[in-house]
Amino acid sequence: MAVSMLDVIRTKRFGRALNDEQIDSFIGGYSAGTIPDEQAAALLMAIVFQGMEPRETTRWTAAMIRSGIRLDLSGLDRPTVDKHSTGGVGDKTSLPLCPLVAACGAAVPQMSGRGLGHTGGTLDKLASIPGWRAELSPDGVRRQLAEVGAVITATDADMVPADRRLYALRDVTGTVASIPLIASSIMSKKIAEGTGALVLDVKVGSGAFLPEVEQARELAVTMVSLGEANGVRTAALLTDMDVPLGFTAGNALEVAESVEVLAGDGPADVVELTLTLARTMLELVGLGGTDPADALTDGRAMDVWRRMIRAQGGDPDAPLPRARHVEEVMATADGVLRRMDALHVGQAAWRLGAGRARKEDPVSPSAGVVWHHRPGDRVRRGDVLFELHTDDTERIHPARLALEGAVELGDEPAPPRPLILERIG
């Protein structure tokens, strides 16, 4: 007997759990276009209000994966492991991390996305490198993993098509903010890419998608459970996003900073997070005896980076785009920098052109924000706090407005907040 979509909606509307047949019927029907948007939107809204039990979320995720292809990486001669971040300001760790872990003996099949809003996208950053291309076929992914050990690419259109349709609907119906739906969206794509292990970087703080630690922990626990249920060894780190990472937010600016890390230098917080994630990834695939710090200092990680960029058509030696206009924002008083708010900085970078409001919007490769001080530094009136980089001078004033309230000066530094808050799994 066919499943009634009205019964599915009513079941969740009244707070009852969906059974396997109802979930499979909905995901399959909506992917095939036989369930209209208005009925799908009604179910999504009911899920936002009523939630889903762990069994429902697991089945929902499995049905999403079955809607498309699942990449087979079993033929590689090294273990596979990936990393996913929930998004932050200045979060460029994927760029040095992928070649670093590959230099230590694992294969890293990272399928990434574009940025939206105040958080930057990995593909947008890499697209600022002349000639680099994001789209690779499944065979191209396997070939690059075999030859280079690392790939960062766009998700294949045939992987988890159900998520593509559902996310577009969630975006326009105010149903994005649901832990089960967020977790299944992220994990269905990561599981479908064929990785054997996964480390999740779940951001917590003002610049994060989930600013409260309780919600972030709930998302992390849910995603770790989904990974393990699907045969993917999974761990999550809760990491701080009250303060932006490094000293740059913006596409080409973050690439340049990532190359500094690969050269054995770079901001201390970016290096710390990159190495912590790398050690966790290597531990999950049985390579915990390898110290990734050595691969930064001896140049192996940089070698893999250059090969990875070239394999995707990019020129690692080409000059990166530079903004036509740079304007400085000065400190208005003496004091110790007690706080730098990540959300304000991310919004400023977005207003300068580094991000997009809609998925189809273009982004500027050269736009962004550079900051010269971090919390704990002593500054004097007239010192440069921020540089605003843009090709469009009309964007400077809105960016300045976004930075109002971004910093707090005082007589004494604020208590330090650890970068790594918690591990789950």
With a cut of 50, list the residues of the chain below it in pLDDT. Answer: none
163 is catalytic: yes
SS3 (DSSP) at 236: strand
For CA atoms 210, 214, 220, 226, the dihedral sign is: negative
Selecting among 83, 114, 165, 189, the annotated active-site residue is 189
- 380 burial (CB, 10 Å; 0-12 / 13-18 / 19+) is exposed
pLDDT of 130: 97
Q: Which of 185, 188, 258, 366 is catalytic?
A: 185
Candidates 12, 59, 83, 84; catalytic one: 84
For residue 203, the SS3 value is strand
* pLDDT for 128: 96
pLDDT computed for residue 115 by the predictor: 62
Please, what's the b/e burial string for 387-414 (b: 16 or more CB within 10 A of its CB; e: otherwise)? Answer: bbbbbeeebbeebeebbeebbebeeeee
- Please confirm, yes or no, whether 233 is among the known catalytic residues: no
Residue 303 annotated among the catalytic residues of the structure? no
Q: For the chain, how are helix, strand and coil distributed in percent, rounded to 5?
A: 45, 15, 40
pLDDT of 168 reads 87
The predicted structure's pLDDT at residue 118 = 63
**Domains of the chain (ranges, CATH numbers):** 5-51 (1.20.970.10), 82-311 (3.40.1030.10), 325-410 (3.90.1170.30)
Question: Among residues 187, 231, 235, 190, which one has the least CA distance to residue 61?
Answer: 187
373 classed as catalytic: no
Residue 88 has a pLDDT of 92
Distance, in Å, from the CA atom of 163 to the CA atom of 157, rounded to the nearest integer, reads 11
User: What pLDDT, on a 0 to 100 scale, did the predictor assign at position 117?
Assistant: 59
Catalytic option among 114, 118, 165, 170: 170
Residue 116 gets which letter from DSSP?
B
Residue 185 a catalytic site member: yes
Report how far residue 16's alpha carbon sits from residue 5's, in angstroms, rounded to the nearest whole number: 15
Token couple for 96:
């040095």
Of 231, 183, 226, 224, give the one whose Cα is nearest residue 73: 231
Nearest to 246 by CA among 260, 236, 233, 232: 260
Q: Give the Cα separation of 103 and 294 in Å (integer).
A: 10
Q: Are the C-beta atoms of 153 and 134 separated by less than 8 Å?
A: yes
Q: Which of 82, 91, 163, 341 is catalytic?
A: 163
* The pLDDT value given to residue 355: 82
